[in-house]
Amino acid sequence: MHTNFIKKKLVVAFILLFAFTVGYIRETIFVVINSVINDYAFPYNPSYLEPPAFLYDIETGNLIKIKWFLTFVFSLIFFGITLWLVNFYFRSKSYNRIILLTYSILFAASLIITLLGFLFNQYESFYGISRFIAGLLQYPLMTLILFTMFYFVNQLYRE
């Protein structure tokens, strides 16, 4: 029993380390792309990675589209990591549904706000809140919040 407990904790630690590593890689990619979009001089970015030359050949509008695509991809990755972690630790279909619902609601809210910005020709005004909501989906924060919430709910019902 004790060995399984330690093994379970090590796997959770590995999954969380993996989530933070993916988060760091995501942040580095976006900082490098932003440095090209905003024409910041190297070494602007805290990761001190010089942007690859091919990024300077891509039009700004296309770089922004690439960022939106990457936002979607990283959101899916963190959705998967969250499901992996919670399903491994708790094995609860209801928790999986809550994760799906949470990610779906946040994604839909971000998308609707973005579309409203385009509809009213006020994209810049709506961008901040849309970006904040989308940001929740593509960092380890949502993974930690949901895992912690499920952990404490589980502890309450154990007693």
- Looking at residue 23, its pLDDT comes to 96
- Looking at residue 117, its pLDDT comes to 94
User: Domain limits at 22?
Assistant: 2-158
pTM value > 0.85: yes
- Looking at residue 152, its pLDDT comes to 95
- Looking at residue 134, its pLDDT comes to 92
- From first to last of the 159 residues of the chain, give the pLDDT tens digit: 578 889 999 999 999 999 999 999 999 899 889 889 988 776 665 666 778 889 999 999 999 999 989 999 999 999 999 999 999 999 999 999 999 999 999 999 999 999 999 999 998 899 899 999 999 999 999 999 999 999 999 988 876
- Looking at residue 103, its pLDDT comes to 97
- Looking at residue 1, its pLDDT comes to 59
Total of domains in the chain: 1
- Looking at residue 74, its pLDDT comes to 97
Contact 49, 32 (CB under 8 A): yes
**Three-class SS string for 12-49?**
HHHHHHHHHHHHHHHHHHHHHHHHHHCCCCCCCCCCCC
Q: How far is CA 71 from the centre of its chain?
A: 8
Residue type, 112: I
